[in-house]
Amino acid sequence: AGDHVIVNGQKFYSSGALLAHLVPIVALDDEGRAWYAIADRGAPGLTVIDDWSSFGQKTTLSGTVLLDNVKVPKTHLVPGYKGYDRPTADGAIFQIIQAAVDLGIAKAAIDETVDFVRTKSRAWIDSGVDHAWQDPYTIQAIGDLRLRANAAEAVLEKAGLAVDRAIADPNEKTVAEAQIAVAESKILTTEIAINATNKLFELAGTRSTLAEHNLDRHWRNARTHTLHDPVRWKYAILGNYYLNDVNPPFHAWS
């Protein structure tokens, strides 16, 4: 009405809203079209509840936002629906950010594993070596983790270039290629994030589970963040693209 719109609703997983000055809201108009409504954090009727209790990604503060007749100026509206009525790189951009986060968690976990094995872990009784870092099975496992992390990073960089091309020339072909490249990177970064954060404890040993080291944060963060969107669907998207020439769904989750 007039120079503003009225927004009502409730949203969980409102990452960062508790600390934000502006709260972005995806709202539907009377025609069912999606808009981005940017509300002031202190707007009357806007309540942020600190109820994010996940065991991982704790500092994202992804709690609940309640909207009770919140007024948003029309100058703070973005027609989000227009972003998907033609090919754009929006979905690929959204997804590649998630893949990069998972790769970062994996690399941090591998670094922590190497440091712990070098400085704190003890050699197994049957290994025949004096130090944990001399254990041939540990050496092999570290090599495998680094290899898979490097492969995931290479595919992520390839995906970044595909996204750049889709941004520069957004059409059905370039956008689909970007989505596929990002889906591939999302699969590999998810796998190495889960594997590396789990292997950390296997290779570093029982002492690594002590609360004082807080190493479980890597697994908790990886396990939580990789649930952002299920990678099992990515395999089907890839297969349908390569086998049947079917482009990925045109939205932010693929």
Please tell me the distance from the alpha carbon of residue 89 to that of residue 250, in angstroms, as a whole number: 10
Q: In what order do the strands lie in the sheet with 46-49?
A: 4-14, 63-73, 46-49
- The pLDDT-based confidence of 254 (bands split at 50, 70, 90) is confident
Q: What mean pLDDT is reported for the chain?
A: 94
Q: 5 forms bridges with which residues in the sheet?
A: 72
For residue 78, pLDDT beyond 70: yes
pLDDT of 172-189, one tens digit each? 999 999 999 999 999 999
| DSSP assigned state of 130 | S
Domains and CATH numbers, the chain: 4-82 (2.40.110.10), 86-244 (1.20.140.10)
The DSSP H or E segment spanning 8 is strand 4-14
Q: Which range scores top for mean pLDDT: 9-13, 14-18, 20-24, 193-197?
A: 193-197
Confidence at 1, pLDDT banded by 50, 70, 90: low
The answer to whether the CB of 41 falls within 8 A of the CB of 47 is no
In this prediction, residues 162-169 reach a mean pLDDT of 98
Percentage with pLDDT > 70 across the chain: 100
Q: Tell me the per-residue pLDDT of 112-150, one tens digit each, with 9 for 90 and over.
A: 999 999 999 999 999 999 999 999 999 999 999 999 999
pTM: 0.91
What percent of the chain is helix, strand and coil (3-state, nearest 5)? 55, 15, 25
